[in-house]
Copies of this chain bind each other. A is one copy, B any other.
Amino acid sequence: MRQAQQARAKATVDAVVEAAARILAEAGWPAVNTNAIARRAGVSVGSVYEYFPNKQAILDVIIDRHLTEAEETLAAAASSLAGVTDTGVLVEALVAGFVRLHENDPRLHRALSSEVPVSPAQRARVEALRKRTISLLAAALAPNVSDPGIRATLLVDTADALAHRWLIDEVGLPLPADRMASEATKMLKGYLLS
């Protein structure tokens, strides 16, 4: 195993990761094997093992990429909402953020969140991201609501879980997903006024 130096080697690395992500999204984790990845990437198995120590390492790149995207989304939201304490605006931003995060590549998202083996370190990173989201929201709510930690936990977990269910699981809904999302927003806003 070595580091990619030349441009074509970097292209190989990218092709391998992309091929694995596409197979994962289209056919699920059981279909992701090293020979299929190499074929799809237009590369030989040998080349795969030039740059990745094992199959799991390829998956790890995909997982890390998604976690990083989520972390950046949170950071962007936190900075653009700095100083905002209007609970209605905060709830709308929360729901919109989770919707945005889940509507990209839903098949891949589903595979990542419910097929693929996730390491303890990656689980910890997910939990840390959740905790950070809750903390930021709790701090923003603190001036206007009681029990901000409890309320923020409920808000974040509800928004995340409903976005999952409605956008990723292919589940029957009485309204389009975006209208269900505004219904959820209504519920969460009401909760903050109680």
Interface of A is mostly: helix
The interface residues of chain B lying within 8 Å CB-to-CB of A173 are 153
Q: Chain A residues in contact with chain B, CB under 8 A?
A: 28, 30, 113-115, 117, 127, 130-131, 149-150, 153-154, 157-158, 160-162, 164-166, 171-175, 180, 183-184, 186-188, 190-191, 194
* Copies of this chain per assembly: 2
A113 to B164 CA separation, bound complex (whole angstroms):
14
Contact of A165 among B157, B166, B184 (CB under 8 A): B157
The interface residues of chain B lying within 8 Å CB-to-CB of A166 are 157
Contact B127 A172 (CB under 8 A): yes
Contact of A154 among B153, B164, B184, B194 (CB under 8 A): B184
Contact of A194 among B115, B149, B186 (CB under 8 A): B186
A149 to B174 CA separation, bound complex (whole angstroms):
7
Contact of A161 among B130, B149, B153, B165 (CB under 8 A): B165
A186 to B192 CA separation, bound complex (whole angstroms):
11
A183 to B157 CA separation, bound complex (whole angstroms):
13
A66 to B134 CA separation, bound complex (whole angstroms):
33
